[in-house]
């Protein structure tokens, strides 16, 4: 029963990490494609024009690179001419669809989100940051429990046999949610790969921790032999994604029902991030309870 609880709670805690990306239809829309092409030539979508889309006769941007034409506090966005053209053409095309009674479609694999201060998916960013804080709180409370509330061995090490593994798990969790927040702030190739690679690494290590604890494997040699195949697979998968082909089709797809963002902000992926918050809290609560139980059990054996 205890082993089942470990595996079930782990799966619940990880439920918000991975989402699916469907093939998009908006970016093959002739009206949208024509709008983007005209924007890149004229620098305007309707009455709105972009300074960094203005080019001289030799093809170089007027007044220098586009990223030097904005205030310093805005340059982090890394929006270039094509990105701005795609974004505003998407909004214009979606407004036309809405007027004609059509439903929203995806563009380049993404739903049409509304930016807030240059942040691409503000709700997902906020939820990722909240998940990061929950993970940090869970790891910190676990650390305080082990080293300041529970007895330590004479060599100042903890009695709990899974301390090191769960410290690594906490670091990987916080790293994953950090890059999730960065990715949802600005979706570019680098942030996408960092986000997905971090999530894959966390999933792989979480599987190792859950199985080692569920099977009560405490011998170091056995742990290495048990973990090596999983580590090899995860490492190979990350290398494949980053240096050969980045394909979400190889991922575990946990978002069964996908829908356009409500009011341009909340989509299925954001809801998955929401569900991860209470499950992460329960997961760390279970870890603390397990640490206390194992410590008391080992102390009784010592006495």
Residue 70, class by beta-carbon neighbours within 10 Å (0-12 exposed, 13-18 middle, 19+ buried)? middle
pLDDT of amino acid 263: 86
Instruction: Report the range of poorest mean pLDDT among 89-103, 142-156, 233-247.
Output: 233-247
Residues contacting 70, CB < 8 A, separation 6+? 52
The pair of structure tokens assigned to 6 is: 């470990």
Query: What 3-state DSSP class applies to 251?
Result: coil
Tokens of 84: 């701005």
pLDDT tens digits, one per residue of 58-86: 555 554 544 445 554 455 555 677 788 88
Residue 246 banded pLDDT, cuts 50, 70, 90? low
Write down the pLDDT at residue 195. Answer: 93
Average pLDDT over residues 215-231: 90
Q: Report pLDDT for 18.
A: 41
The pTM for the full model equals 0.80
Band the pLDDT of 253: cuts 50, 70, 90: low
| Window from 55-64, 103-112, 243-252 with minimum mean pLDDT | 55-64
Higher-confidence residue of 300 and 295: namely 295
């Amino acid at each position: 029963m205890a082993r089942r609880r470990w595996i079930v709670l782990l799966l619940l805690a990880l439920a918000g990490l991975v989402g699916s990306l469907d093939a998009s239809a908006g970016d093959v829309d002739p009206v949208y494609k024509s709008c983007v092409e005209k924007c890149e030539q004229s620098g305007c979508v309707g009455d709105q024009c972009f300074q960094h889309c203005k080019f001289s006769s030799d093809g170089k941007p007027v007044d220098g690179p586009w990223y030097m034409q904005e205030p310093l506090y805005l340059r982090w966005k890394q929006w270039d001419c094509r990105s701005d053209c795609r974004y505003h053409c998407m909004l214009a095309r979606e407004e036309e669809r809405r007027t004609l009674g059509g439903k929203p479609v995806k563009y380049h694999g993404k739903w049409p989100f509304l930016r807030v201060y240059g942040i691409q998916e503000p709700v997902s960013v906020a939820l990722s940051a909240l998940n990061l804080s929950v993970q940090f709180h869970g790891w910190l409370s676990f650390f305080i429990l082990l080293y300041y509330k529970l007895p330590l061995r004479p060599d100042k090490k903890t009695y709990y046999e899974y301390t090191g593994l769960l410290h690594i798990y906490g670091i990987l969790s916080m790293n994953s949610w950090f890059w999730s927040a960065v990715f949802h702030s600005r979706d570019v190739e680098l942030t996408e790969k960092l986000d997905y690679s971090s999530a894959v690494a966390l999933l792989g290590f979480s599987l190792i921790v859950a199985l080692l604890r569920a099977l009560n494997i405490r011998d170091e040699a056995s742990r290495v032999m048990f973990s090596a195949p999983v580590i090899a697979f995860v490492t190979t998968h990350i290398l494949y994604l980053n240096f050969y082909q980045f394909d979400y089709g190889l991922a575990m797809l946990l978002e069964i029902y996908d829908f356009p963002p409500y009011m341009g902000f909340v989509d299925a992926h954001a809801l998955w991030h929401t569900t991860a918050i209470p499950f992460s809290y329960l997961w760390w609560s279970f870890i603390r309870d397990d640490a206390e139980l194992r410590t008391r059990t080992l102390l009784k054996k010592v006495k």
